[in-house]
Structure 1
Amino acid sequence: MPTRIIGDTPPRLPAELIARFAAVPVAVVVDLLEGRTQVDPAIRPLRRIAGGPTLLGSAVTACCDPQDYGAVHHAIAVAEAGDVVVIDAGGRRDVAMIGDLLSTAARRKGIVGLVADGAVRDTGILGGWGDFAVFTRHVTARGPASKDGGTVDAPATIGGAPVRPRDLILGDDDGIVVIPREAAEGLIAKAEERAQAEIGWERRLAAGETTLAVFGVPDAVRA
């Protein structure tokens, strides 16, 4: 069966709203959403960048059949600048769903990165790009066997977290969280408030206050 592309997808969120999440750590969003859309921490970034998100954009999903990467090709074709290609390969490690050639094509389009619940290869190249973030569960040298299956822009599952087309993907050194598209507008003010509160806590700690005072920890009972 040829690769299918689901045509009825929601519009992308406003760029101004997406940009506001760039100042919000993944940990803040995970806590606010009580971990419901946190991606399995085993899916890690190839490169580490201290400070700020390394990945932020609207999801274009590629749901791959075993050993087939047709959906990845078509997801890159569908994606626009600022998007994130999300590869649902079922966590398989047998073949890489993407390497440097497809990633270079994505990068040239302005796609900001990818998340693979599966494997990637050519990591020496992919891990060296500062403008294209790659998160993956596995790395393997073996390539796929076919390119004519899978589905683009279908609901996917990445590391146990549901991802729908045009949900927001936010990633940093702590991992990835999926921000449901319909929740983003109501979440951003709370996330910004929490991020600012953490800055205030850091200042109080730097001034010499104890963690007990800063975090309002109840008194302990001496035994």
Structure 2
Amino acid sequence: MKKETRNKLMGVSVATLATALFKRGLRNQVIQGVQPLGWKGKNMVGPAFTLRYIPAREDRNGIAVFRNADHPQRVAVETCPEGSVLVMDSRKQAMAASAGDILITRLMKRGGAGVVTDGGFRDARTIAELEIPAYHTRPSSPTNLTNNEAIAINEPIGCGDAPVFPGDVIVGDGDNVIVIPADIADEIADEAVEMTAYEDFVVEKVKEGQTIIGLYPCTKDENREAFEAWRKANDR
């Protein structure tokens, strides 16, 4: 993704992005049920690198499989490109952990931009203290081998009911995570920056006691003119 696009997406909310995508008919891009561990105060932004789990079959998922150098969970952590977000389809269940602090620390040291699962992480308190942004549904201690098998790397997945294709742009804020189709990421970022500027203006006016009627959305010329003056004064 373009550096300029990444920088723009660092400063906008998932809610604003959801509205921009809704205008284009995309209604299900927010990953449902996930929340940040130890919010870092800045957005997570990066292209998606995916890992898909399926239900575990007992004869295939003994603890010894972790000795296999080709185990997909380990390979995903070791091959996720620098600046990318590892997104895991854990079947929306956190009965067993998608990963733990050792793997997430390794992902961080390799330059990963973040990690998301619609399942849970073990060692969640430790992960929350790492520098890498991480999102999950809830803490979960049992190993993923208990009921999940990592089966496929960098294929289209579903994560928290959102479709995720490799290379889609992932943005996480202090609330949740959204998936932006790669081919429209630049234009969505541009629009979201514009929307954010107006929303900041609106918040300021509402705090001053102004009604939202005619202000949000803007349907009155005087509000449009006031916004342009505000924008010039604030270099926005």
Q: Which TM-score band (shorter chain)?
A: 0.7 to 0.9
Aligned match of 1:106: 107
- Please give the alpha-carbon distance, in whole angstroms, between the structure 1 residues aligned to 2:28 and 2:55: 27
- Please give the alpha-carbon distance, in whole angstroms, between the structure 1 residues aligned to 2:217 and 2:103: 50
Count of equivalent residues: 202
- Please give the alpha-carbon distance, in whole angstroms, between the structure 2 residues aligned to 1:123 and 1:84: 18
Aligned match of 2:52: 63
Aligned match of 1:210: 211
Q: Contact 2:51–2:150 (CA<8 Å) still a contact in 1?
A: no
If you compute each CA radius of gyration, which structure gives the higher value, 1 or 2?
2
Q: Contact 1:66–1:89 (CA<8 Å) still a contact in 2?
A: no
- Please give the alpha-carbon distance, in whole angstroms, between the structure 1 residues aligned to 2:171 and 2:98: 21
- Hey, which of these two has a bigger chunk of helix by percent? 2
Q: Which runs of 5+ in 1 are unaligned?
A: 1-12, 219-223
- Please give the alpha-carbon distance, in whole angstroms, between the structure 2 residues aligned to 1:39 and 1:117: 8
Instruction: Give TM-score scaled by structure 1 length.
Output: 0.82
Question: Residues 133-144 of structure 1: matches in 2 within 5 Å?
Answer: 133-144=133-144
| SS in structure 2 at match of 1:173 | coil
Aligned match of 2:76: 75
Aligned match of 1:37 in 13, 24, 29?
A: 29
Distance 1:43 1:87, change over 3 A: same
- Please give the alpha-carbon distance, in whole angstroms, between the structure 2 residues aligned to 1:180 and 1:65: 24
- Please give the alpha-carbon distance, in whole angstroms, between the structure 2 residues aligned to 1:94 and 1:208: 48
**Counterpart of 2:206 in structure 1: which amino acid?**
L
Distance 1:206 1:171, change over 3 A: same
Aligned match of 1:173: 174
Q: Contact 1:59–1:169 (CA<8 Å) still a contact in 2?
A: yes
Distance 1:194 1:123, change over 3 A: same
Spell out, residue by residue over 1:163-201, the C-alpha distance to the aligned partner (whole angstroms, 9 max, x if none): 000111101122111011011122122111101001111
4+ residue runs of structure 1 moved beyond 3 angstroms? Answer: 67-70, 146-149
Q: Which runs of 5+ in 2 are unaligned?
A: 220-236
| SS in structure 2 at match of 1:135 | strand
**Counterpart of 2:35 in structure 1: which amino acid?**
R
| SS in structure 1 at match of 2:48 | strand
> What is the alpha-carbon root mean square deviation over aligned residues?
2.2
**Counterpart of 1:108 in structure 2: which amino acid?**
K
Q: Contact 1:205–1:214 (CA<8 Å) still a contact in 2?
A: no
Q: Contact 1:201–1:214 (CA<8 Å) still a contact in 2?
A: yes
Question: Residues 12-161 of structure 1: matches in 2 within 5 Å?
Answer: 13-34=1-22, 35-40=27-32, 42-49=33-40, 52-53=42-43, 55-67=44-56, 70-129=71-130, 131-145=131-145, 149-161=150-162
**Counterpart of 1:85 in structure 2: which amino acid?**
L
Instruction: Give TM-score scaled by structure 2 length.
Output: 0.78
Q: Percent identity?
A: 24
| SS in structure 2 at match of 1:32 | helix
Aligned match of 2:229: none
Q: Contact 2:36–2:175 (CA<8 Å) still a contact in 1?
A: no
| SS in structure 1 at match of 2:118 | strand
1:187 and 2:188 are equivalent in the alignment: yes
- Please give the alpha-carbon distance, in whole angstroms, between the structure 2 residues aligned to 1:72 and 1:191: 34
Distance 1:117 1:217, change over 3 A: same
Q: Contact 2:55–2:149 (CA<8 Å) still a contact in 1?
A: no
Aligned match of 2:231: none
| SS in structure 1 at match of 2:30 | coil
- Please give the alpha-carbon distance, in whole angstroms, between the structure 1 residues aligned to 2:217 and 2:19: 18
